[in-house]
A and B are shown apart, each in its own frame.
Chain A
């Protein structure tokens, strides 16, 4: 699983940080999401939940084969 974050549409609600603090962070400067690292296999569920809970749709799961990655 590969995660993408889009800071342009993040609204800083912090659900990702609450849900998966090892993977996501909010920047002190602007409060917007920072992807600390890609989730490992054991973290797929929690990363998926953070994706689901993000209100603005700023976190997306990318296909492994997606050339954009």
Chain B
């Protein structure tokens, strides 16, 4: 039943498109924080004109993400703000794009991957990740200050790791890094974004066909050998993992370093006590929550949520940055506190779509921050903090570049 409101009550305010503009580089948009206090579930007008909902509190976001009455099927979603690659009336997810599917399709794809991303498998990669990290930091040191931390360190390390894992030649990186950027840029036109996606798909499809002929010791070859997937499906999975492996960890390393440099007491604590590393990574994930647009879920039936009636077909946007700053869940939420226990944060999402690569991301961050701090005891920004270019214009938040000196 819908909540009946006395007529004297002011109509619920309508948020027009998901806000992304920030007044502080590390805090979620102030509007979202205000909403969480006032109305953790508010009406949101989607750019296409349809009305849905915006959720900003921790318990509600978590509940929706875990609730099978809320669907991830791509054809049911609306983008909460204009994103180049989101059509207004999207079709069903393409083969392999399990991120836009519900069970049982989602389960079928994800099951092919789970054994490759276990905690143990990822730990087996630790030495390799440590070597890649050391090589890049060494090159940065040789280059001398100032250097762009994103180009020298934050982007190439996760990029190289996901390429090795998948079996994608890193020498082709200019091509797929460019396509990924176009795809995720909010200012790209729909045609540009689709062009980039098609180009990524064709590239990976070509690779799948070649690996079917000549398999190697990598994930794409293993997926082919498993026999349950056709080439289109393997290519789709590879596109997803390649994109996910690029922009996410890279921005956690870039923006994370920026945040540490702007919180000298926390930086000093981490330098003084390396046993804080694991904790620090969780807290940075919570504090920065770089997935700043979506995720969205579509109600499959009428669902009552915190006293509001979400009708079947309406789309709910979950603001993960706002949820991860919910004072009901994390004390002093706007403070970066590397000593707190931030486990349970929603930076990797929640529910059956929770990030598959999260254990890999954790190791890359732990290794990355540890080595960076150890090698550069005097690391500092080489520009004024207000001149650091923020990625409010991208689907994944972070910094475009981070000039540093030492």
- A: which residues have CB within 8 A of B? 9, 11-14, 17-19, 21, 26-32, 49, 52-53, 55-57
Contact = CB atoms under 8 A, between A and B. Distances in A.
Contacts of A31: 113-118
Interface stretch (B52-60, B291-299, B347-355): B347-355
A14 B344 CA distance: 13
A32 B358 CA distance: 15
A12 B356 contact: yes
Interface in B91-128: 107, 110-111, 113-120
Given A52-B344, A55-B351, A18 B359 contact: yes
Interface string B120-147: 1000000000000000000000000000
A14 B115 contact: no
B354 A26 contact: no
B343 A19 contact: yes
A4 to B, nearest CB: 17
A12 B117 contact: yes
Interface of B: 65-66, 107, 110-111, 113-120, 343-344, 348-356, 358-359
A19 B65 CA distance: 21
Given A18-B119, A53-B344, A12 B350 contact: no
Nearest to B343: A53
A29 B226 CA distance: 12
B343 A49 contact: yes
A55 B114 contact: no
B118 A11 contact: no
Contacts of A28: 115, 118, 120
A17 B110 CA distance: 18
Contacts of B114: 11-12, 26, 30-32
A49 B91 CA distance: 39
Counting chain A CB atoms within 10 Å of each CB, which of B110, B114, B355 scores highest?
B114
Contacts of B66: 55-57
Nearest to A58: B352
B115 A55 contact: no
Contact of B111 (A19, A30, A49): A30
B241 to A, nearest CB: 14
B118 A12 contact: yes
B132 to A, nearest CB: 22
Looking at chain A's contact residues, the main secondary structure is loop
Nearest to B362: A18
A2 B356 CA distance: 28
B352 A26 contact: no
B354 A13 contact: yes
B115 A27 contact: yes
B352 A56 contact: yes
Nearest to A8: B107
Contacts of B355: 13
B246 to A, nearest CB: 20
Contacts of A32: 114
B343 A14 contact: no
B115 A29 contact: yes
Given A13-B358, A14-B117, A14-B119, A55 B111 contact: no
Contacts of B359: 14, 18
Contacts of B344: 52-53
A26 B118 contact: yes
A36 to B, nearest CB: 13
A12 B354 CA distance: 9
B361 to A, nearest CB: 12
Given A30-B111, A31-B114, A17 B119 contact: yes
Nearest to A16: B119
B118 A14 contact: yes
Contacts of A55: 65-66, 349-352, 354
Nearest to A55: B354
B48 to A, nearest CB: 30
A14 to B, nearest CB: 4
The 3 closest A-B pairs by CB, nearest first: A12-B114, A31-B114, A55-B354
14 contacts: A11-B352, A12-B117, A13-B358, A14-B118, A14-B358, A17-B119, A18-B359, A26-B114, A28-B120, A30-B111, A30-B114, A52-B344, A53-B343, A55-B351
A9 B356 CA distance: 14
Nearest to A29: B115
